[in-house]
């Protein structure tokens, strides 16, 4: 019997899955680590925390399953996108990694756009330069920590640092590289124009592969640490969104995924690269060779609910511990006590700035419409509804682009809640389906490993053999009509507050 290993280097933790070629999950492990915010709007992590979690996770699943290391056919990697890992000439980490949700680089985004030229940026990368992306982080380091920058020899994305630790190879793949502002999206290779304009050299970056391609093999040192067999192939893998889309079966036109994790993502497959004319969404290379995808990203989806749990729900957390249940279960039960529309309470989920449809690092979270009538159930439900409005923003853009939307698939932590699925179906006014697997990017990474190792001929075949629909949530017409009335008010609030967000941000 053979197996596939999928590893996802997430923002809150690393997930490791051991999967059989029929899609059955044999064993899973999740190891958490901290996120550091040394200043408002900053977000950093220690890459060694990712590595320690990866080693422990691999040992967890091999130990729990009893699978011999020789039975692992291949390994796929996924992870949080855009983060920057800076290595010196000895390949040691120079400073904490700057993450996707870090908002310190607004000035650098403007500088890059001016330096390269806006038209060239769009022609080469198909996207504006945004604060979450990698290139502005590189420029920030050069401008603000020049002594550190002078020692930089390699720049890696989070999952690709783990690849280096596993294989000794400096490699990435097209989907993750798409979020650096350094890749030519149409040609699926590093952009020489972007590199030249920013005074970067290609040897500072890893080699680019297609996602199912073998990019390296487990080294003797990594084999000793993890329990894997030396020489086991490691494929390119995918950025968390592209790998998650493979794990959801979003590998053909028409099917759209809505993922509610820490961030919120609306994702659609494309056979040809296309852009939103207003550049509100991202066009990236897909993890399917020779294909592309478009996605809208909100930065604090499930992250907004996590903020509420940590900041305001100590009572629920304590009770959940006493009852032996997940605190989110109690929060959902509480939210169900509030009526649709929360009696006029609206939440703007911009806790760490926003990306789609507003690329604004200064945007902040807001409760609007609070009254003496509102209680804790309203506060929680308003978050669920506000995030759903934000996801609808991206769906509306896809419709404007003329993309076919024949089915919406829900995934991520938010999809586990029946209440949140119903709210999304009502806000979108669309059927929402779930599938037999909800393991996120790690599952997609395992499927990509299967293609590279020969267990499947193509990515599409891998999805067809492992994924099926299990549940369908239909919209309630009355609630959809109510949300249609509230949605324009939600949209108008950002425009009304935009300048004030900037003023307050500058004061802080």
In angstroms, the CA 87 to CA 95 distance is 8
| CB neighbour burial string for 199-231, b if at least 16 within 10 angstroms, e if fewer | ebeeebbbbbbbbbbbbbbbbeebbebbbbeee
User: In this structure, what DSSP letter does residue 228 have?
Assistant: P
Asked if residue 430 lies in contact with residue 392, where contact means CB atoms within 8 angstroms, the answer is: no
Asked if residue 273 lies in contact with residue 262, where contact means CB atoms within 8 angstroms, the answer is: no
Asked if residue 216 lies in contact with residue 449, where contact means CB atoms within 8 angstroms, the answer is: no
- DSSP-derived pairing of the beta strands 183-184 and 44-45: unpaired
In angstroms, the CA 226 to CA 217 distance is 13
Give the H or E element holding residue 333.
helix 327-335
- DSSP-derived pairing of the beta strands 183-184 and 189-190: antiparallel
In angstroms, the CA 428 to CA 462 distance is 29
Residues whose CB is less than 8 angstroms from the CB of residue 324 and which lie 6 or more positions away in sequence, other chains included: none
Asked if residue 54 lies in contact with residue 161, where contact means CB atoms within 8 angstroms, the answer is: no
In angstroms, the CA 166 to CA 3 distance is 18
Strands (E), 201-253: 207-209, 214-217, 233-235, 238-239
Coil, strand or helix at 9: strand
In angstroms, the CA 212 to CA 328 distance is 35
Choice among 102, 240, 276, 360 that is catalytic: 240
Q: Decide if 240 is catalytic.
A: yes
Residues whose CB is less than 8 angstroms from the CB of residue 60 and which lie 6 or more positions away in sequence, other chains included: 16, 27, 29, 31
Q: How far is CA 299 from CA 65, 239, 483, in A?
A: 35, 16, 22
Catalytic residues: 240
């Amino acid at each position: 019997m053979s197996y596939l290993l999928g590893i996802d280097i997430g923002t809150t933790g690393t997930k490791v899955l051991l999967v059989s070629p029929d899609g059955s999950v044999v064993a899973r492990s999740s190891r958490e680590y901290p996120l550091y915010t040394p200043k408002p709007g900053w977000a950093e992590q220690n890459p060694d925390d990712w590595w320690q979690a990866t080693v422990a996770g691999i040992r967890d699943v091999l130990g729990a399953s009893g699978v011999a290391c020789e039975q692992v056919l291949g390994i796929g990697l996924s992870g949080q996108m855009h983060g920057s890992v800076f290595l010196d000439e000895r390949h040691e980490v120079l400073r904490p990694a700057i993450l996707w949700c870090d908002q310190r680089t607004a000035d650098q985004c403007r500088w890059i756009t001016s330096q390269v030229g806006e038209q060239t940026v769009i022609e080469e990368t198909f996207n504006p330069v945004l604060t979450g992306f990698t290139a502005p982080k590189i420029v920030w380091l050069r401008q603000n920590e020049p002594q550190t920058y002078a020692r930089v020899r390699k720049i890696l994305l989070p999952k690709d640092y783990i690849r280096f630790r596993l294989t000794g190879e400096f490699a990435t793949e097209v989907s993750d590289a798409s979020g650096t502002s350094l890749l030519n999206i149409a040609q699926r290779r590093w952009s020489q124009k972007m590199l030249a304009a920013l005074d970067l050299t290609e040897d500072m970056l890893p080699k680019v592969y297609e996602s199912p391609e073998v990019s390296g093999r487990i080294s003797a040192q990594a084999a000793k640490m993890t329990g894997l067999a030396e020489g086991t192939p490691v494929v390119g893998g995918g950025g968390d969104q592209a790998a998650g889309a493979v794990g959801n079966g979003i590998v053909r036109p028409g099917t759209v995924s809505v993922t509610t994790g820490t961030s919120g993502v609306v994702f659609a497959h494309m056979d040809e690269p296309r852009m939103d004319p207003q550049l509100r969404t991202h066009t990236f290379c897909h993890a399917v060779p020779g294909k592309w995808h478009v996605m809208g990203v909100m930065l604090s989806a499930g992250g907004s609910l996590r903020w509420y749990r940590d900041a305001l729900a100590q009572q629920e957390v304590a009770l959940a511990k006493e009852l032996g249940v997940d605190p989110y279960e109690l929060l959902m039960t509480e939210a169900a006590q509030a009526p649709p529309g929360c009696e006029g309470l609206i939440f703007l989920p911009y806790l760490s700035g926003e990306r789609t449809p507003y690329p604004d690092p200064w945007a902040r979270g807001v409760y609007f419409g609070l009254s003496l009538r509102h209680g804790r159930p309203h506060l929680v439900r308003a978050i669920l509804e506000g995030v759903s409005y934000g996801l609808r923003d991206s769906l509306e853009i896809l419709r404007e682009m003329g993309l076919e939307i024949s089915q919406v698939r829900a995934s991520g932590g938010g999809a586990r809640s029946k209440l949140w699925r119903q709210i999304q179906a009502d806000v979108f006014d669309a059927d929402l389906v779930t599938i037999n697997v909800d393991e996120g990017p790690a599952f997609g990474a395992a499927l990509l490993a299967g293609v590279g190792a020969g267990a499947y001929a193509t990515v599409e075949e891998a999805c067809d053999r492992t994924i099926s629909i299990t549940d369908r949530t239909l919209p309630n017409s009355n609630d959809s009509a109510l949300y249609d009335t509230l949605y324009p008010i939600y949209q108008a609030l950002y425009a009304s507050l935009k300048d004030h967000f900037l003023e307050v941000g500058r004061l802080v």
